[in-house]
Amino acid sequence: MALRPIITYENPRLRKKSVKIKRIDAELQRLIDDMIDTMRAAEGIGLAAPQVGVLLRLVVCEYADEDSDGVRQTVLINPEITERQGEWMAEEGCLSIPGYVGTVPRAEFVAVRGKNRFGKDVRIKTDGLLAHILQHEIDHLDGVLYIDYLASPDDLRKVEPGKRRRRRQGNEDDTDDPSSADDAQDASGDGDIASAEDTAAARDPELPRISGGSDETALTGQPCCDICGHA
């Protein structure tokens, strides 16, 4: 296992569409383990393979689950969002856009299908934090960043880096891959995945003013995002 560098928004690889994984082999297992290590080291709660420069459809998430008082880890190969319901405005950041957060519209509930790291089919129906993370991470696989949903560049806010939030609380050995089977009853219907691709096509390739100053961006003392966990 090893840490891999996380690429940031200037890197054009982040804007590419990742390809489906065809073979679940030892090399892929190594990538999954490296991504989990890298996510933990960066104190994030989600990471997509393109963020470590690998254009494969793979995401990992891990966060403290308030309900079970443990750590919930999800590894998804070739994930697809098949259903979305509701909408809310979610504050999020991204390990590839360090030091910034924005508030963007997300579905409240999603149904997602994919495979776990052992190749087993997984279906997840979830709301709350995991739904939020999965939407963000799966967007990465289509070259979409959360800033693409901002109505205005001014909606991007600078935050103090380095504070952690909602990361694991102990129980770090709980790394087997549940792939959220508990949420995974019953799969309803086939995909509405086109919406993600529409978004990708419509996005603005320019990152708004991100290299600018921190001037007007109020640091309200509010914790940062739910996604990627920084500050």
Least distance CB 141 / Co ion (angstroms): 11
Q: Residue 36 interacts with Co ion (CB under 5 A)?
A: no
Nearer to Co ion, 114 or 143 (CB): 143
Assess whether 137 carries a catalytic annotation.
yes
Choice among 27, 66, 137, 172 that is catalytic: 137
Cβ within 8 Å of residue 107, ≥6 positions away: 84, 85, 86, 87, 131, 135
Q: Which amino acid makes up residue 170?
A: G
Q: How many residues bind Co ion (CB under 5 A)?
A: 1
Q: Which H helix or E strand runs over 164?
A: none
Least distance CB 152 / Co ion (angstroms): 20
Cβ within 8 Å of residue 97, ≥6 positions away: 8, 9, 145, 146, 147, 207, 210
Nearer to Co ion, 94 or 231 (CB): 94
Chain positions 87 to 116 lying near Co ion, rule: CB under 5 A, are 94
Least distance CB 162 / Co ion (angstroms): 17
Return the CA Rg of the chain: 16
Pattern 137-176, binding to Co ion, x per CB under 5 A? Answer: ----------------------------------------
Is residue 143 within 8 Å of residue 14, measured between CB atoms? yes
Helix (H, G, I), strand (E, B) or coil at 76: strand
Residue with tokens 């308030």: 66
Nearer to Co ion, 94 or 130 (CB): 94
Q: Residues 28, 37, 146, CA angle at the centre, nearest 5°?
A: 85
Nearer to Co ion, 70 or 164 (CB): 164
Instruction: Name the residues annotated as catalytic.
Output: 137
Residues near Co ion (CB under 5 A) are 94
